[in-house]
Amino acid sequence: MRSKDQEDYAFYKDKLVLLQDTQEMLLASLAKLQQTHIASGYRDTIEHCKARIKCPRSVKEKMVRQGLPATLEAALSHIYDVVGIRVVCTFINDIYLIRNWITDLPYINIINEKDYIRSPKPNGYRSYHIIIECSMNSQNIYAEIQIRTLAMDCWASLEHQLKYKQEIRYQEMIVDELKRCANELASTDLNLQTIRELIESETSNCLEV
């Protein structure tokens, strides 16, 4: 067993299987929805999906920040992103389409939604977050699903590196540059969306003729 697997099992114990099953079920549901969409004659909307189970160290740090006891019971009851799914797509409109797919799934309850695309964070971060609750073998498991474009995902990866590398020189300047880049990428996303809509409109007109 790998060291990470050992660390996960030591903390999550028998609940680790439920977390893994929740992760796999959500990924399978997204794949099925994507295949159904394509089979109906529409273009592919999902570039790729990533999934992870939050490492115990990060969970415990989050619980300390929230004033919670660092126990498994508290983690499963109060930490909503132990299971995390990231869905990356091409265009902004795809984000809201995929959001509707997810919220229509019959086996989940929507706990919370945050639209950081229409209302970005102060640092420029953009993404759509959905907190859901799934029932797995009589146990309620929470998961966070993040939906973003390729540009948003690229920016978030760079910002994450900055956040966890405090020794970087000129950090304030880099933060300002990242904010500027976030705004430029948001503008590019909108422009690409417009171009796609123009192309689809022209294609539709040609078919009608």
Q: What is the pLDDT of residues 143-161, one digit of tens each?
A: 999 999 999 999 999 888 7
DSSP alpha helices (H): ranges in 15-107?
15-39, 56-65, 72-78, 92-103
- The answer to whether residues 152 and 115 touch, using CB atoms and an 8 Å cutoff, is no
Tokens representing 32 are 């099925």
Tokens representing 108 are 């989940």
Q: What is the pLDDT of residue 135?
A: 85
What's the residue count for the chain? 209
Phi/psi region, residue 141 (left: phi>0; alpha: psi -120 to 50; beta: rest), is: beta
- The answer to whether residues 72 and 114 touch, using CB atoms and an 8 Å cutoff, is no
Residue numbers of the chain with a pLDDT score lower than 70: 1-2, 164-168, 203-209
C-alpha angle 133-138-142 in degrees, rounded to nearest 5: 20
- Name the residue type at position 40: S
Per DSSP bridges, beta strands 128-136 and 139-149 are antiparallel
Which residue is associated with the tokens 């590398």? 165
Residue 110 CB contacts under 8 Å (≥ 6 apart), including other chains: 103, 130, 131, 132
C-alpha angle 149-108-9 in degrees, rounded to nearest 5: 85
Cβ count within 10 A of residue 45: 19
Model pTM above 0.75:
yes
CATH number of 3-150: 3.30.460.10
Q: What is the pLDDT of residue 165?
A: 60
The predicted-structure confidence for 106-136, as pLDDT tens digits, reads as follows 999 999 999 999 999 999 999 999 999 998 7
